[in-house]
Amino acid sequence: MTTPDQTPPENIQGDAAPDAPRASSAGAAGGRGRLAGRAAIVSGAAQGIGLATTGVFCQEGARVVMVDVDEAALAAGAASLSGKALEVLPCKADITKFEECEHAVKLCVEKFGRLDILVNNAGVTKDGLLIRMSEADWDFVLDVNLKGAFHLTKAAVRPMMKAHWGRIINVSSLVGQEGNAGQANYSASKGGLIAFSKSCARELASRNILVNAVTPGFVHTRMTEHLPDPVRKYFLDKIPLGRICEPVEIARAILFLASEDASYITGAVLPVNGGGYT
Ligand SMILES: NC(=O)c1ccc[n+]([C@@H]2O[C@H](COP(=O)([O-])OP(=O)(O)OC[C@H]3O[C@@H](n4cnc5c(N)ncnc54)[C@H](O)[C@@H]3O)[C@@H](O)[C@H]2O)c1
């Protein structure tokens, strides 16, 4: 069965985004916006939720290292944001490799002088019934979704610990909370990401590094536009708001957790699912 998380996201670029930046107090290095002066790394930034998050962050004054394994998509994603006076730095990196995560962190610190925010957003699916699921398919999904977040987080916390300030937001999924037939590997990785967030939150709180997770529901993608009506209806019927989420709506929730507005929130799981479950 096709599931929401299988679908590639709609082409939500900088255009789609965000409301006009809100006037707010100056950040760490001056400027305006809720993330003014901050530097961030967003993984899986080439498209979908990661690209929308990059756009929202930049509009709020942050500089962003866009990490993705897909070089062509990364170039296209960064290009879609250009011309908007945004400061982004594309960085091709495979988060399953620790050295490449270290490189991304080094790049951010070298070019932007700091690393304040990490968004572990990169994710993959390889769906199938448990009885037929190969070890390779299990490992592939766990390696990217869970181990990749571990790698990038481990590399990113060094400069955050030195600065005594940090925000880490992990993009989990409602499937990580509820499970889903045909997605044993994916749901395990996303459930693991929630537990990982809570442990990191406890471990890093004394350094003022806050770690939270968001759990998107059914996010609007190109593929969902072509879902057969009965499948679309099946998912829509479970969503009280009666519509599919746009990537920028996930990005705004991530922005909240990255901002000073969330200064007393850590170890939390923020569902962004239209009320699709409680
Ligand atoms: N789309 C949905 O309905 C939905 C729902 C819940 C959760 N999510 C989660 O949100 C996140 C973003 O999803 P999306 O829909 O924008 O997906 P997407 O496929 O558009 O984007 C994921 C990005 O991650 C990148 N990526 C994959 N493997 C990588 C690796 N090893 N190293 C670096 N980058 C890698 C891909 O190249 C891609 O650009 C994922 O973690 C996904 O599980 C999505």
Kindly report, residue by residue over 99-136, the tens digit of the pLDDT: 999 999 999 999 999 999 999 999 999 989 999 999 99
Provide CB contacts within 8 A for 181, sequence distance 6+. 1, 129
Is residue 186 flagged as an active site residue? yes
Structure tokens at 2: 């096709």
Whole-number Å distance, alpha carbon 25 to ligand 1 midpoint, is 32
Q: Pocket of ligand 1, candidates 2, 3, 5: which has the most ligand atoms within 8 Å of its Cβ, to mutate? A: 5
Reported confidence tier of residue 41, pLDDT bands at 50, 70, 90: very high
Contact present, 171 and 217 (Cβ < 8 Å): no
Segment holding 42, helix H or strand E? strand 39-43
Q: Which atom of ligand 1 is nearest to the CA of 125?
A: 43
Reported confidence tier of residue 262, pLDDT bands at 50, 70, 90: very high
**Cβ < 6 A, ligand 1 pocket:** 4-5, 7-9, 43-44, 46-50, 67-70, 73, 94-96, 121-124, 144, 148, 171, 173, 216, 218-219, 221
User: Domains in the chain, start-ordered, CATH in brackets?
Assistant: 4-270 (3.40.50.720)
Q: Pocket of ligand 1, candidates 66, 219, 270: which has the most ligand atoms within 8 Å of its Cβ, to mutate? A: 219
Q: CA–CA separation, 54 vs 171, rounded Å? A: 14
SS3 (DSSP) at 35: coil
- Of 186, 234, 264, 277, the catalytic one is 186
Q: Which atom of ligand 1 is nearest to the CA of 218?
A: 3
Contact present, 255 and 171 (Cβ < 8 Å): no
* pLDDT tens column, 127-172: 899 999 999 999 999 999 999 999 999 999 999 999 999 999 999 9
Contact present, 64 and 54 (Cβ < 8 Å): yes
* pLDDT tens column, 52-111: 999 999 999 999 999 999 999 999 999 999 776 679 999 999 999 999 999 999 999 999
DSSP string, 195-217: HHHHHHHHHHGGGTEEEEEEEE-
Bridge partner list, 65: 41, 89
CA distances to 3, 17, 202, 217, 220 from 257, rounded to whole Å, are 27, 18, 16, 18, 22
Whole-number Å distance, alpha carbon 48 to ligand 1 midpoint, is 7
Residue identified by tokens 């620790």 is 98
Q: Pocket of ligand 1, candidates 94, 173, 221: which has the most ligand atoms within 8 Å of its Cβ, to mutate? A: 173
